[in-house]
Structure 1
Amino acid sequence: MRPGLKRLLALALAALAAALLAARPVAAAQPFQTSVPSAILIDADSQTVLFEKNADAPEVPASTTKVMTAELVFRALAQGKLKLDDTFDVSEHAWRTGGALARGSTMFAALNSKIRVEDLIRGLVIVSGNDAAIVLAEGLAGSEGAFATRMTERARELGFAHLTFTNPWGQDDPDQRVTSREMASLAAYLIRTYPQYYHYFGEKDFTWNKIKQPNRNPLLTMDVGADGLKTGNIDTSGYGIVASAVQNGQRLILVIYGAKSAKERESEAVRLFQWGFRSFESKMLFQPGEVVGYAQVYGGSSGSEPLVSDTPIRVLIPRDSDEKLKGQIVYTGPLMTPVSPGHEVAHLRVFRGPDEILEIPLRTSAAIGPGTLPRRAMDASLEFAEQLFRKYVLKK
């Protein structure tokens, strides 16, 4: 088979995979219904999707945009390009566009004042200050527009094809769009990558210019284990939230867009978290370094390459269920020699019924050099025969 052709291998063909996947029958939990137009609930550790509804639809992010803004700020801090004690100037643009005059959410930054980065972070993620977002953007990139370009570029670097930004604070713009699925993945990435800064999202209140404001995330005061991230609301978006909660060491991440009211957003978020923590249990499929399956190798000393994951592969499965998981290994192949270990060449996709609940990258684990001349000739003959078959038989 010529390079570039997608190869799908059922995990049932691998004895170990088949044994693990069949070890416990699983099925969908009791169907969950929500009134909001778009939502997704994932397990942060395993990345298992527990619930989704229109999760890939384009959405107006409103102030949930600030999760992406925070990622760029946290990254600059982690890289040593920025310090918490650094200060940025409050421009007239930031003051007029994001301050009290604009009648939006604000940290009440004073015109021409200098504010520490740490205080700006609190203004950004606790009270959702539009002025804080603009000051950070101007301080890091020179302007809102330049910073927004960096936001979209960073989203693409992280593998998010649909997160597109034109401003750092959530102003309505037809070109600023996200999806629930990718915002959930972004939240999981931020929590995993910046634990030293994530705690700001969970602080209960923030005082600036002698004005004390509570955290705008209402879930922090509810008994669901919520510890952070952002709400959002403008006329074109409805009420949205990107939220995370932890119970008994398990973290779930929830995204909702399009709720009709703050009350509906809160009640549906609480219901989804409660259902997610109650209805699922963890199932280990593969340990780190354990062979998940094999990729075909062309012209090598071995005809197949064992594929592994660097991290544990777990899924959350509904309790007391009777439907089996199904899996596929997807790669572009066959692989060409020489093959060296440690390269990401495939993905494991796990399905529950028609729904894909997990996708994990797989890497090569063994070095494979060129095969003998007879072996290479045999592979070439098989490749040629398969091309003829596809050209003259499958296309008829």
Structure 2
Amino acid sequence: MRRPFQCAKLLILQLSLAMLIFPPAGLSAQASPGKISAPPSINARAAVVIDAVTGTLLYAKNPDLALPPASLAKLVTLHIALKEIDSGRLSYEELVEIDPRDCSPQIPYGSAIMYLYPRMKVSIRDLMLGAAVVSGNDAAYALARRISGSNEAFAIRMNEELKELGFDGLTFEEPSGLSERNLVSARQFALFCKLYMEMHPQALQELHSVKSIEFPRLEHSAPGYVPEGRIVQYNRNPLIFNYPGADGLKTGYIIEVGFNMVATANREGTRFIVVTLGGTGSAYSSGGNQRTKDVTGLLDWAFKNFATVSLDPGPLPSPRAWYGAKRTASLRMLQANAVTIPKDRIGELTLGLDVPSMVDAPLARLARIGRMVYYIGEDDVAVIDLVAAEAVPRGNFFRRIFDGFIRFFVNIFGSRER
């Protein structure tokens, strides 16, 4: 399994290569060979569209401009919480006693909250839903305090985690997104979201596509507080209610940046991620509507023009491993077997393998051995590395002598290798 750092670096490389294949639509209307319509004009100051499988960059407007993410920051907070759960250091059912410092009025007036009350006992699952669904700043604070002891310590954890993943353009001072000193770029945040969905595939269904939560419930009674009646809070992402295929992720707003959003949608095996930052509006409702218009316009454009395609290469070859403890080297794909291409070029797509028939041991696991190349005509449009699925250590003395003898005659007579 690839380390997250390797995944992030690989995705950054894929985006760089994609710039050559698909010049960003925000920078050039001629996105690639093929009939591609012009992208919509958008209000946001910065935006990107990427393919969620291949990482191919399809649209870019000021992709590296550093802007506050607002509540998009909660995705990093949720990522760390999910990692803690995966490690066994945290569980969904654990009850957290809510600290008064994580409740209103300590949370700025008018900001999003899930209505935590001091000394409530709330499960980690409810806190995560509160952060993901209703964008509760109090939920983010409570998660941070449980994991790291304070917002400040948790922000250090956020930055360390992002550095390990290879994202040098994402920095945070607190976990909720309230601070304008949190900074991201649209390009790197899209990459982070791609990796987030790969590392936590359950998150879209269990957190981000949940349409509402009932909170607080009677079980959340605390000294001086008893919930009255049924209280339902709805997801702040309008796309999951009315955009076909949409199932996440997050909206955000603070006055210092305006209206932000990261959204994803899947249709017939093609999934895109859209990030928009810095949308404007004369009022909260108009700015939110414009943000939705920007994101749906970019998704519509992407689904109209592009598709994620995968061709079956059949069984991968197993090169002869000379001098090895194993006779052959098993191969695997380092990246996803997929390519993003204009829809009108799908019929022209072909696939080729470039793999040597023989390799020399020792071979490290994930050592690059060959490649799989997607072509449109004679032009290669995507390269997928083929690597050693398992290490092939050097064989013992007798194996090396025997292989040396056989290879001597193979080289002389061109005989078929053993």
* Equivalent residue for 1:168, pick from 160, 175, 178: 175
Q: 1:137 to 1:40 in 2, by over 3 A?
A: same
CA distance in 2, matches of 1:229, 1:360: 28
1:343 to 337, 350, 366: 366
Q: In the alignment, is the contact (CA less than 8 A) between 2:45 and 2:277 conserved in 1?
A: yes
Name the SS for the 1:340 alignment partner: coil
Q: Counterpart of 1:144?
A: 151
Q: Cα distance, 1:44 vs. partner?
A: 1.4
Task: Look up the match of 2:352.
Answer: none
TM-score by length of 2: 0.67
Deviations 1:291-348 (A, max 9, x none): 9xxxxxxxxxxxxx999733443221113369x99xxxxxxxxxxx986242366999
Counterpart for residue 129 of structure 1: 136
Q: Residues 350, 62 of structure 1: CA spacing in aligned structure 2 closer, same or farther, 3 A cutoff?
A: farther
Offset of 1:363 from its aligned partner? 4.1
State the match for 2:340 in structure 1. Answer: 316
Match of 1:30 in 2: 37
1:53 aligns with 2:61: yes
Instruction: Determine which structure has greater relative contact order: mean sequence separation of CA pairs < 8 Å that are 6+ residues apart, divided by chain length.
Output: 1
Of 262-271 and 48-57, deviating more is 48-57
RMSD across aligned positions (CA): 4.0
Q: Which amino acid aligns with 1:242?
A: V
Q: Are 2:63 and 2:187, in contact at CA under 8 Å, matched by a contact in 1?
A: yes
Partner of 2:324: none
Match of 1:266 in 2: 292
CA distance in 1, matches of 2:122, 2:393: 57
Change (3 A) 1:227 1:284: closer
5+ residue gaps, structure 2, are 1-31, 217-226, 281-286, 318-328, 350-359, 395-399, 405-418
Equivalent AA in structure 1 for residue 214 of structure 2 = T
Q: 1:339 to 1:164 in 2, by over 3 A?
A: farther
Map 1:186-205 → 2, pairs under 5 A: 186-198=192-204, 199-205=206-212
**Contact 1:224/1:270 (8 A) holds in 2:** no
Match in the other structure for 1:281:
307
Partner of residue 12, structure 1:
none
Give the fraction of aligned pairs with identical amino acids, expressed as a percent: 29
Contact 1:29 1:321 in 2 (8 A): no
SS at 2:339's partner residue?
strand
Query: Post-superposition shift, 1:164?
Result: 1.0
Q: Does the 8 Å contact 2:34/2:342 carry over to 1?
A: yes
The 8 Å contact of residues 89 and 139 in structure 1, kept in 2 or not, is answered as: no
Q: 1:107 maps to which residue?
A: 114
- Give structure 1 stretches of 5+ with no counterpart: 1-24, 292-304, 326-336, 373-396
> In terms of mean alpha carbon deviation, does 140-149 or 279-288 score higher?
279-288
Contact 1:39 1:180 in 2 (8 A): yes
Aligned 8 A contact 1:287 1:313 in 2:
no
Structure with greater strand percent: 1
Q: Which moved more, 1:84-93 or 1:120-129?
A: 84-93
Question: Contact 1:224/1:273 (CA < 8 Å) preserved in 2?
Answer: no
CA distance in 1, matches of 2:382, 2:170: 20
Specify the SS of the correspondent of 2:365.
coil
Paired residues, what number? 330
Question: Within 2, Cα distance between the matches of 1:50 and 1:254?
Answer: 10
**Equivalent position amino acid for 2:366 in 1:** H
Which letter does structure 1 place at the counterpart of 2:143? L
Q: TM-score if structure 1 supplies the norm length?
A: 0.71
CA contact (8 A) 2:93 2:123 kept: yes
